[in-house]
Structure 1
Amino acid sequence: MSDKKKALETSIRCPVTSEDIFKETIAELQDVYFKKIAPLEKAYSFEGFHSEPLTPKDIEAAPMVLLIGQYSTGKTTFIEYILGEEYPGSYIGIEPTTDKFTAVMSGASSKIIPGHAAAVSGDLPFTGLQKFGTKFLSRFQVSHMNKSVLQNITIIDSPGILSGAKQMDRGYDFTKAVQWFAERADLILILFDGYKLDISDEFRVVITSLRGLEDKTRIVLNKCDQIDQQQLMRVYGALMWSLGKIVATPEVIRVYLGSFWPSSKPPLKIKFGDSTDLLKKEQNDLMDCLRQIPKNAAIRRVNDMVKRTRQAKVHAYIISHLKNEMPAVFGKTKKAQKLLNNLKEEFVKIQQLNGLSPGDFPNPLVFREILENYDISKFKKLDKRLLSNVEAALSKDFPRLMQNFPNSYAEDSFPWSQKENGEDHLHSQATTSASHRPMPPRPPPRYTGSGSSSPDTQGASNPVGPSTLHYLELFNKHCDSKTRLISAKIASELMEGVGLFKEDLKDIWFIADAEDRGSLDSVQFEVAMRLCYMVKSGIDLKLAKEKVYNDLGLDL
């Protein structure tokens, strides 16, 4: 028996679980970060301009879900809906009740850890919160619960934002605190009350601060059973119009409709039942989204580290460029002011000189505000050794990590299917999505060979490595029966159903239609659809391409 066949049979008998992949990925990410990325960040004051250095706990922390919303939108009740019971320290009322940031985490027993203790604990990923000071830490707590659903996910409940002009002096920078959690979250849920839609000034500022994180942001329109279907349509339209003025993206953020009321409480009287079926489907969609978080956690960790590394690389180029522009002896103050005044133009120079992407550069106005507090003449020149290590991480280490992911995770990787006393909705079986987009069937076992054909790739016009094509059934349904090709029009419609930006779809099409034929065979269609869903989940297209080609045994 060949080595490839033995490896394939072993992968079928002993599937690699998501938990195994997560642990292995975290260990390798920590090694790459502390050896290659952190030294560059330290040398060029990355912490002062962007974010503090990561700790081992930051990298290995369980996936995080952040809830944001104005008071009385149902954030705390939503958590109870998920868990099946109240978490320690929670309180629900019609007035602004949640006045703290609360991290609901897994623990051996139910208990509350105050913020000051949590921020200095080496066992918790919250040491970075110390920079917000005593007043913030007094309004932060960790709530431990012995719930299996929390073994692989942490839920952050945030203080309710007051509506209208009724703002308060919290004693700490609330928006910066939200940003801190948002940058580390795997999913951000912004809750609105369908019965009293309102976006206050503070809420607007908070939503604006999430720019750049749209790929992991979702909207939840809660309490939708309190209005009839016609009113719901109007509220939905008003919400999208309001968000369109705040969220700087050409694409619409996914909005979930629902009424999340925990089964542990006496049932509420439903005022209007004409949207019951729709709300049930929408709620199931959101629960499916939450179930996917642990399975995708390892890939998102790699993706987030790639984004941070690219940011650190560009930052090093900026700092070293500014240093090189400074005179050796006289006129330093005048030159520094000129650089500050023309920072946007300097960014363009750096892009052109070093072939960097404009999307990796920071906001010049924000960067200038921070830069004014530094003496540019004391910056370091570019260290080619440090830069070489970062380039190696981007070109070798991260692509290698992506190639290590098998095509499927065992369904029992995480204890989402275990039943506990009480009813939590993440343990319910997934139901049919309200969306009609084609969803991939369960992927095949990991394939370790390359380029060899397989009898299981029925209808594939090119030889591929995996034992099964995920989208073969979809391809056979839409392709021309004679040419065995799927037209550009039909293929593009199926790709658009994933919900990507048009520019992303265009880039994916150029990769899939490598022969510039204007149509796709079964393997090319497979490449296109896999890339669509990977990019949709937040993975960089280059990394996604390398993984897909490796999984299919294709030559790059």
Structure 2
Amino acid sequence: MKLCGLHQRKKQQILQRPYRSCGRSTTRPSSPWNRLIDGEITSKPMVLFLGPWSVGKSSMINYLLGLSDSPYQLYTGAEPTTSEFTVITHGEKIRSIEGIVMAADSSRSFSPLEKFGQNFLEKLIGIEMPHKLLERVTFVDTPGIIENRKQQERGYPFNDVCQWFIDRADLIFVVFDPTKLDVGLELEMLFRQLKGRESQIRIILNKADNLATQDLMRVYGALFWSLAPLINVTEPPRVYVSSFWPYDYAPDTSRELFKREEISLLEDLNQVIENRMENKIAFIRQHAIRVRIHALLVDRYVQTFKEKMSFFSDPELVFQEIVDDPDKFYIFKSILAKTNVSKFDLPNRDAYRDFFGINPITNFKPLSAQCSYIGGCLLEKIEKAITNELPALLSSINSGKQPGLSSCEATGCGEKPKNRYRKN
């Protein structure tokens, strides 16, 4: 067996820790005008698996859920096998759900995926199963990156779909194996999409027991060499080195290191679940900041449009001039003069050309028109939530935490998960 004694007990303890639900949560949409549906707000933490084909993403999920060699395991193989986005969630019984059903159910957090078209929904599948870990987290397996395949060959906007999941993931495992360290255009695009999400990224060097210790050190260095231009942060991401499958490690390899790395990964996963409430509140506040800035920008566009319009002006030409060159009219600079607005939070200027192409500017009223004597101003309510209410809620949760293990963590609560012993 690969894990036994203390390691098995540690692993079991991690997976049976109680799940604390705050009832409401949020996502981190890439655009402030994205609507959050109820299913997204109340969703469990999402763990996303990305990486090249045949690096062991599906095998890793099978191992974490104890599905290996069972009738319900995700299909794996040496060739590219996963062509669908597979969402593994908790359910009372094991069953699969078609993508069109997931998109049609507004109670789920995946109904917005319908915007990517029917071709994509045919490549989306959900799997429900009664597993203790899935009561606390949702896993998403993705098609492997194939550098010689163009996005249009997939039949749907692959990068846009990946971005949707990235924006909503609480933890992102980017999986490599020692034979697939080269970086091509599709992988480079993926890391560009991960920009700003470095704190959620974990790099997995899988199948590490295929190498002797000296070769593994060289591969580890080569991995960082390949990723250095793509992850431009002062602190490198956490890298886990092990073989995440149920079989024994190869002889004469770093067995103790692999065991410790696996326990560390499980602790990391548990930490994301334990910090769910704090993370969700922080992300709600982050989204509120984006909404506030977006409202201020649209209001500024509206004001500028009305100021430049005259009786003889062509509305389309006037507004086209404003959208094409917002700096000429100090659209964005005027927002920076507002309180608590950082230049680093300002969205892309080009995004508003697309936004107003879908939403005509004549549909919007000034923010001053959104105030009433009884209800107050909508913008003031958002500012109050950002400045006072959400930080106070976060403080109240942190102050209620007790150091050390809870009684459930110390003694176990409810049904204990079945021990998953590794095979020889």
TM-score range (shorter-chain normalised) is: 0.7 to 0.9
Cα distance between partner residues in 2 of 1:349 and 1:238: 47
SS of residue in 1 equivalent to 2:118:
helix
Cα distance between partner residues in 2 of 1:116 and 1:338: 42
Show the counterpart of 1:76: 58
1:60 aligns with 2:47: no
Structure 2 residue corresponding to 1:350, chosen from 322, 335, 339: 335
Show the counterpart of 1:41: none
1:175 aligns with 2:128: no
2:92, 2:130 within 8 Å by CA — same for their partners in 1? Answer: yes
Bigger shift: 401-410 or 367-376? 367-376
Letter in 2 for 1:308: H
Show the counterpart of 2:149: 166
Bigger shift: 142-151 or 403-412? 403-412
2:249, 2:255 within 8 Å by CA — same for their partners in 1? Answer: no
Query: Which structure 2 residues correspond to residues 64-143 of structure 1 after superposition, within 5 A?
Result: 64-86=46-68, 88=72, 90-143=74-127
Relative to the length of structure 2, the TM-score reads 0.82
Cα displacement (A) at 1:392: 1.7
Structure 2 residue corresponding to 1:224, chosen from 187, 208, 213: 208
How many residue pairs were aligned? 385
1:343, 1:368 within 8 Å by CA — same for their partners in 2? Answer: no
1:102, 1:143 within 8 Å by CA — same for their partners in 2? Answer: yes
Query: Over residues 447-501 of structure 1, what are the superposed CA-to-partner deviations in whole Å (9 max), with x where a residue is unaligned?
Result: xxxxxxxxxxxxxxxxxxxxxxxxxxxxxxxxxxxxxxxxxxxxxxxxxxxxxxx
Cα displacement (A) at 1:278: 2.0
1:316 aligns with 2:295: yes
Letter in 1 for 2:366: K
1:73, 1:222 within 8 Å by CA — same for their partners in 2? Answer: yes
1:328 aligns with 2:328: no
Show the counterpart of 1:423: 420
Cα displacement (A) at 1:115: 0.6
CA distance 1:67–1:363, shift in 2 (3 Å): same
1:250 aligns with 2:244: no
Cα distance between partner residues in 2 of 1:299 and 1:407: 11
Cα displacement (A) at 1:417: 9.4
Cα distance between partner residues in 1 of 2:421 and 2:139: 14
Show the counterpart of 1:465: none
Query: Over residues 44-96 of structure 1, what are the superposed CA-to-partner deviations in whole Å (9 max), with x where a residue is unaligned?
Result: xxx99545311222111111101111110100000011111148472101111
Show the counterpart of 1:285: 264
Cα displacement (A) at 1:252: 1.3
Cα distance between partner residues in 2 of 1:394 and 1:410: 31
Structure 2 residue corresponding to 1:270, chosen from 235, 250, 253: 250
Bigger shift: 281-290 or 351-360? 351-360
Cα displacement (A) at 1:242: 2.5
Query: Over residues 307-357 of structure 1, what are the superposed CA-to-partner deviations in whole Å (9 max), with x where a residue is unaligned?
Result: 110000000011111111112331544443333343466323311245511
Cα displacement (A) at 1:216: 1.2
Query: Over residues 1-60 of structure 1, what are the superposed CA-to-partner deviations in whole Å (9 max), with x where a residue is unaligned?
Result: xxxxxxxxxxxxxxxx9756523xx2xx69xx9xxxxxxxxxxxxx99545311222111
Cα displacement (A) at 1:241: 2.6
Structure 1 residue corresponding to 2:129, chosen from 121, 145, 169: 145
2:166, 2:194 within 8 Å by CA — same for their partners in 1? Answer: yes
Cα distance between partner residues in 2 of 1:214 and 1:419: 34
Bigger shift: 403-412 or 135-144? 403-412
SS of residue in 2 equivalent to 1:283:
helix
1:195 aligns with 2:192: no
Cα distance between partner residues in 2 of 1:205 and 1:153: 27
Cα displacement (A) at 1:181: 1.4
CA distance 1:359–1:138, shift in 2 (3 Å): same
Show the counterpart of 2:8: none
Bigger shift: 226-235 or 365-374? 365-374
SS of residue in 2 equivalent to 1:53:
coil
Cα distance between partner residues in 2 of 1:126 and 1:79: 20
Cα displacement (A) at 1:166: 3.5
Cα distance between partner residues in 1 of 2:113 and 2:75: 24
Cα displacement (A) at 1:386: 1.1
Query: Over residues 109-154 of structure 1, what are the superposed CA-to-partner deviations in whole Å (9 max), with x where a residue is unaligned?
Result: 1110111111112442211111111111111111011111111111
CA-based RMSD of the aligned residues comes to: 2.9
Cα displacement (A) at 1:366: 4.2
1:227, 1:271 within 8 Å by CA — same for their partners in 2? Answer: no
Cα distance between partner residues in 2 of 1:51 and 1:220: 34
1:412 aligns with 2:391: no
Give aligned-pair identity as a percent: 30
1:115, 1:140 within 8 Å by CA — same for their partners in 2? Answer: yes
Show the counterpart of 1:299: 278
Cα distance between partner residues in 2 of 1:243 and 1:79: 24
Cα displacement (A) at 1:404: 2.5
Cα distance between partner residues in 2 of 1:371 and 1:335: 13
Cα displacement (A) at 1:268: 5.6
CA distance 1:314–1:173, shift in 2 (3 Å): same
SS of residue in 2 equivalent to 1:293:
helix
CA distance 1:413–1:376, shift in 2 (3 Å): farther
Identify the structure with bigger relative contact order (alpha carbons < 8 Å, sequence gap 6+). Answer: 2
1:19, 1:413 within 8 Å by CA — same for their partners in 2? Answer: no
Show the counterpart of 1:380: 365
Structure 1 residue corresponding to 2:224, chosen from 230, 236, 240: 240
Query: Over residues 171-197 of structure 1, what are the superposed CA-to-partner deviations in whole Å (9 max), with x where a residue is unaligned?
Result: 111111111112211111111112331
Cα distance between partner residues in 2 of 1:370 and 1:89: 43
Letter in 2 for 1:357: S
CA distance 1:231–1:123, shift in 2 (3 Å): same
CA distance 1:177–1:298, shift in 2 (3 Å): same
Q: Which runs of 5+ in 1 are unaligned?
A: 1-16, 34-46, 426-556
1:59, 1:301 within 8 Å by CA — same for their partners in 2? Answer: no
Cα distance between partner residues in 1 of 2:183 and 2:21: 41
Cα distance between partner residues in 1 of 2:221 and 2:297: 43
Letter in 1 for 2:278: I
Cα displacement (A) at 1:286: 0.7
Cα distance between partner residues in 2 of 1:281 and 1:48: 36
Letter in 1 for 2:387: S
Letter in 2 for 1:395: T
